[in-house]
């Protein structure tokens, strides 16, 4: 089963991550795809509403943390995905990693 590890953090913490330790986690065989995202101010949000589509600059979320990237892992179950998330979190200086199952057929690796 595939799991998405959604990486949340602060912009300054993202720059401080030791590159070697992160690379070690990303090279694990169960990691099948990953992407780092630009800072939240680079986002454009598309919403539908009463007057049609509305595009606005920014993510417009009320939080000090932002979605910094995502990693897709192939694991036998939640415990395997959590093991990768825990190893990755040990390389970070804060933030959080949300682990979610990926719906079958809606996403396939890079």
The structural domains of the chain, ordered by start, are 2-96 (3.30.70.1060)
Cα–Cα nearest to 102, from 33, 19, 28 = 33
pTM (whole model) above 0.85: no
- Residues in CB range of 56: below 8 A, 6 or more apart: 44, 45, 47
Q: Each residue of 17-70: pLDDT tens digit?
A: 556 778 888 899 999 998 888 777 777 777 776 777 767 676 555 556 678 888
């Amino acid at each position: 089963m595939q799991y998405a590890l959604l990486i949340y953090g602060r912009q300054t913490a993202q720059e401080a991550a030791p590159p070697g330790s992160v690379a070690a986690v990303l090279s694990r065989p169960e990691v099948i795809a990953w992407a780092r995202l630009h800072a939240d101010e680079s986002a454009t949000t598309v919403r539908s509403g009463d007057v049609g589509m509305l595009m606005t600059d920014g993510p417009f979320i009320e939080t000090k943390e932002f979605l910094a990237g995502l990693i897709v892992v192939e694991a036998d179950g939640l415990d395997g995905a959590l093991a990768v998330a825990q190893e990755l979190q040990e390389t970070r200086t804060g933030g959080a990693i949300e682990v979610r199952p990926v719906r079958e057929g809606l996403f396939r690796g890079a």
